[in-house]
Amino acid sequence: MKQFIIVLWAMLALLSMGACTDETIGVSITDGMSSVIEDSSFVLTGHSVLNDRVLMRTSTKMLGALHADGFGTISAEAVTMWMPAVSIDTTGVKAEWIDSCRLKLRMPYRNGFTGDSLAPMRLSVYRLNKALPTPIYSDFDPTDYYDSDDLLATESYSPTSGWLEIGSSYVTGSMVNDTVRVISVPMPVELGRELFSTYVADPSKFSTPKAFADIFPGIYIANSYGSGHVLNIKATELDVYYRKLDKKDDGTDTIYPAQVQSYLASTPEVVSNNIIHFNMDDAITSMVNSGEALIVAPAGYEVQVRFPIQDIIDKYQANIGTSQSVINELSLELPVSVPLTQYDIQPPTHLLMVKTSKKDQFINGDSLTNNKDSFYATYDATTRTYAFTGLRNYILNILNNQGGIATDDDFNFTITPVDVTNYTYSSSYYYGGSTTVVTKISPMVSRPAIARLLLDKAKIKITYSKQIVD
């Protein structure tokens, strides 16, 4: 009965006083019986580390070339293998009735490029002569993987030269429509006929990407002229246009023109790679040399930090003593400033914070964050902060499984820019609504990005409750 009264008084005090806390150690709110405590007195330290060789784990492609004062000179080309169509329309179709084929490069209508929207440029598409290696990195040299004589197409383009198209987004799921801008590259009609004839002769060649690579290993998309922008290519496919013999409603034969089918697509399941050449501006080098913690993408800088987890644990244990306690939350709010650059290059949309010892395993394994040794945060442009929440399991693991003693592995984290892929699906058949889940986290190659992490202003906050029970 006495314990019941103590708990009742604690609940009444919480309701009447709200969050009675301060920035360091909070005060008791029920005459020493129950306390809600926040502590944000901890210091985060770190430094920039060069990350100029990125492992690609995404079908997103950067394409183009750009110089931006305060950032540097960057060029991006791409190689990709193909995911073939499971089946090809052959009923009433002949190889000679294939009229054309086009390589479609789809970029987001908004934020689909960085640079000058009107700068004219030209791309060239080459046929690969062998399958791409795996793993494959941003410093990949395609020289031995194509012949200059195997040029399939060239095309002039700018970010505003393509047409607008509304279609289902591969990234967010088939239920979500996106507006994209499409750059269409005419490809040799002979390629479409070759693919059609190969399928008719042996459909098994289209059964897997590996089998298909025996007949068509992939393409290399190179910059062949101009500078001024880089594109964010979210989807790549090869569409084939053909005529088809079919029946009219009255049963008579007719040939229907302008049929189209996507024969090939670049997807996360096949080997794909961005080839990045990046000469960073002297301003970036100067900031790094002066000790600034810089995030630069793609293939630029990441930041290694020392998270003061032992200080947090020691202070927490000293304060609770023999009292009963519950850790409610551990979080990191990381403010940034945006260096001045030409074209107003912005911070990465997402940052990954992962134990340094597990970073390669995370990237190589195509992992998702587990809130124990890896976390991600989304940039808030209004507050200019990244908020890493959900670190509770991280501290609980050390308290419960390591006796409250952190190892070097627990202290050292790498903060690196990433692209996050989501999938959105209907969460209720009857009531509507949707749910979005993260399906992929990969090194950032979607656009140029830069941010200065203000580590001295970072706010690490632990919130916990303690109660003295007689």
Tell me: the pLDDT tens digits for 34-90?
789 999 999 999 999 999 999 877 778 999 999 999 999 999 999 999 999 999 999
Average pLDDT, the chain: 88
Tell me: the pLDDT tens digits for 398-446?
999 999 999 999 999 999 999 988 776 665 555 556 667 777 888 998 8
What contacts 405, CB < 8 A, 6 or more positions away?
A: 310, 398
pLDDT of residue 16: 39
With a cut of 90, say whether residue 15 has pLDDT above it.
no
Q: Is 166 exposed, middle or buried (0-12, 13-18, 19+ CB in 10 A)?
A: exposed
pLDDT of residue 469: 64
Strand partners, 68: 72
Distance CA 97, CA 66 (A): 41
Kindly state the percentage of the chain with pLDDT values over 70: 87
Kindly state the helix (H) or strand (E) to which residue 372 belongs, with its residue range.
Answer: none
With beta carbons less than 8 A apart as the criterion, state whether 452 and 339 touch: yes
Q: Which residue has the tokens 């800088």?
A: 301
Residue 358, SS3?
helix
pTM over 0.75: yes
With beta carbons less than 8 A apart as the criterion, state whether 353 and 375 touch: yes
Distance CA 439, CA 450 (A): 25
The beta strands (E) that lie in 21-71 are given as 34-39, 45-50, 61-68
Higher pLDDT, 362 or 169: 362
What contacts 43, CB < 8 A, 6 or more positions away?
A: 308, 456
Tokens for 205? Answer: 């060649």
**Confidence at 255, pLDDT banded by 50, 70, 90:** confident
Kindly state the helix (H) or strand (E) to which residue 310 belongs, with its residue range.
Answer: helix 309-320
Tell me: the pLDDT tens digits for 162-218?
777 765 544 444 444 678 899 999 999 999 999 999 999 999 999 999 999 999 999
pLDDT of residue 174: 42
Tell me: the pLDDT tens digits for 34-46?
789 999 999 999 9
Please report, for residues 38, 104, 167, 195, 411, the alpha-carbon distance to residue 235 in angstroms, rounded to integers and kept in the order given: 46, 8, 12, 21, 39
**Confidence at 341, pLDDT banded by 50, 70, 90:** very high
Q: What is the mean pLDDT of residues 225-231?
A: 95
Distance CA 183, CA 140 (A): 25
pLDDT of residue 177: 61
Tokens for 161? Answer: 């030269």
